[in-house]
Chains A and B, each alone.
Chain A
């Protein structure tokens, strides 16, 4: 996703000199071509995320499309008030880009686990929140947030994630992408967990449980219509995210369901319990610890479906 983002941005920036990429002293080997070939559109703010974010706002208020780029919680939580006051309050055309969503940096320890960013950023007034599911979505999301006039948060994973979308996609901010159809349940996914969700759906299909899969790449504004359609048309709803179960996709979907008239549907959030992980390890290991592998997701879904159908 990281590679898709930077190569797409590079192409866009070559055609639009308003685009400025500001990094927080990170991106070794990743941002190098951008830095070398578009030096007037590149800036290293140093290890200073507050200044990075405020400067981005200042540049945006002077006509730029300013991107801040760092990893994990650094461009979001570290400088949250700068995001709120300088970027959001001024409706500044700033795109906050974080690499390392969820357990991407699982072995690096709890400081580098990005598990609250979606919740916190979703609460920021006027901020569009996007968490693409694979490199294809990351590329499309990059184009979409640059084209959008206003503040956005783009949550990416790492480099080298598998391509989940084998066909071209129709990507629109705020509109979920349906990956497969099924009536027993809907699996709603956000961010880099998408492949596990799609594979879990395939595994469930082999077990006779047919699921609809939605890639909810935009968390805010949420595609409420897709959620409500899923509630009407399928037997249960599951949200899956590599993020705390508090405040992210699960909460956003729950809010829609709770306030909808006449909707009663079994619903479960799959994610990380609120708290600091006792473990460290690879992304796959951390996913396994929290039931977020293909098998773990399939098992959780199947057990709820079995309970629902037997009751």
Chain B
């Protein structure tokens, strides 16, 4: 892989983060932390892994991406805009009266969004249905689904986790944005998920663990699926909540707080392109 390609992905991730900070700040909205933790993964997914055509969002053979952690919608909207599904300027309407860009992932009038989410535990089961439909129709589509760590508390996640390996859905990929902080505390103290990769492995998934901010590792993991024929793939991505803005990193506060005023200026300064 050339350095230029690698730089492109990192640059895409940087722009996603910039959009997220501007959007959530202007909207005075929550959930910047979990959007920033997912930014590098989303850059890898849209920048390298997915087969899609923004001119034909309904192309039947497209790969599908389901953002099941619907609260991190600013990052998804940002990457969709950067991927030419709609003009980047539209991001400015996020959370505003009358805008289609709602505070949780919404498909209505937002090209490129496959599934509205916001209640956790829905994305992977729907993705599983899409994966089995593609298999039965002999279509090449692969279904990628990002879930959060707190979301793994939902029983419906594990209903799908049981189902997909049994049906050998190797066209299904789940990416866990394991940023270690959920809504009311750190995951370890709320409901410990560890050993998380072992849990997915035990359910029959082919699992890889990686640093969810290492672009090289992300690209490799996303482009090498399926890891085993006949098994769905799981990427446990160890991430940092608030990644990319020093004062937000690993802070529960930034699950909720919007980057306003000086905070926004400081955050954006940290997200300027490298010289």
A45 to B136, CA, bound (A): 15
Question: In the complex, given contacts A48-B159, A62-B129, A63-B137, what are 11 additional A-B residue pairs having Cβ atoms less than 8 angstroms apart?
Answer: A46-B163, A50-B155, A50-B156, A55-B160, A57-B129, A61-B126, A61-B130, A62-B130, A82-B125, A86-B115, A90-B116
Q: How many residues of B are counted as interface, with CB atoms below 8 angstroms from the partner's CB atoms? A: 29
- B136→A55 contact, CB < 8 A: no
Residue with the highest number of chain A CB atoms closer than 10 Å, among B133, B162, B163: B133
How far, in Å, is B187 (CB) from chain A's closest CB?
Answer: 22
Looking at chain A's contact residues, the main secondary structure is helix
Q: Which residue of B lies closest to A54 (CB)?
A: B125
- The answer to the question of A51 belonging to the interface, with a C-beta cut-off of 8 Å to chain B, is yes
**A55-B125 contact given A48-B162, A48-B163, A85-B116, CB 8 Å threshold:** yes
- B116→A51 contact, CB < 8 A: no
A-B contact pairs, 23 of them (CB 8 A): A45-B163, A46-B159, A46-B162, A48-B159, A48-B162, A50-B155, A50-B156, A51-B160, A54-B126, A55-B128, A55-B160, A55-B163, A57-B126, A58-B125, A59-B129, A59-B130, A59-B132, A59-B133, A61-B114, A61-B115, A61-B126, A86-B125, A90-B107
How far, in Å, is B244 (CB) from chain A's closest CB?
Answer: 31
Q: Which chain B residues lie closer than 8 Å to A35 at the CB level?
A: none
- The answer to the question of A56 belonging to the interface, with a C-beta cut-off of 8 Å to chain B, is yes
**A51-B156 contact given A59-B129, A86-B122, CB 8 Å threshold:** yes
- The answer to the question of A43 belonging to the interface, with a C-beta cut-off of 8 Å to chain B, is yes
**A62-B133 contact given A46-B162, A46-B163, A55-B128, CB 8 Å threshold:** yes
For window 105-159 of B, CB contacts with A under 8 Å fall at: 107, 114-119, 121-122, 125-134, 136-137, 141, 155-156, 159
A100 to B136, CA, bound (A): 31
- The answer to the question of B60 belonging to the interface, with a C-beta cut-off of 8 Å to chain A, is yes
Q: Which chain A residues lie closer than 8 Å to B155 at the CB level?
A: 50
Q: Which residue of B lies closest to A40 (CB)?
A: B136
Residues of chain A touching chain B, judged by Cβ–Cβ distance below 8 Å, are 20, 40, 43, 45-46, 48, 50-51, 53-64, 66, 81-82, 85-86, 89-90
Question: CB within 8 A of B159: which of A51, A56, A85?
Answer: A51
How far, in Å, is B87 (CB) from chain A's closest CB?
Answer: 25
Chain B 46-79 per-residue mask, 1 if CB under 8 angstroms from chain A, else 0: 0000000000000010000000000000000000
Q: Which chain B residues lie closer than 8 Å to A63 at the CB level?
A: 60, 133, 137
Question: CB within 8 A of B122: which of A20, A40, A48, A54?
Answer: A54
Residue with the highest number of chain A CB atoms closer than 10 Å, among B125, B129, B132, B134: B129
Q: Which chain A residues lie closer than 8 Å to B125 at the CB level?
A: 50-51, 53-55, 58, 82, 86
How far, in Å, is A45 (CB) from chain B's closest CB?
Answer: 7
How far, in Å, is A1 (CB) from chain B's closest CB?
Answer: 27
Question: CB within 8 A of A58: which of B107, B121, B130?
Answer: B130
Q: Which chain B residues lie closer than 8 Å to A85 at the CB level?
A: 116-119, 122
How far, in Å, is A121 (CB) from chain B's closest CB?
Answer: 18
A194 to B161, CA, bound (A): 43
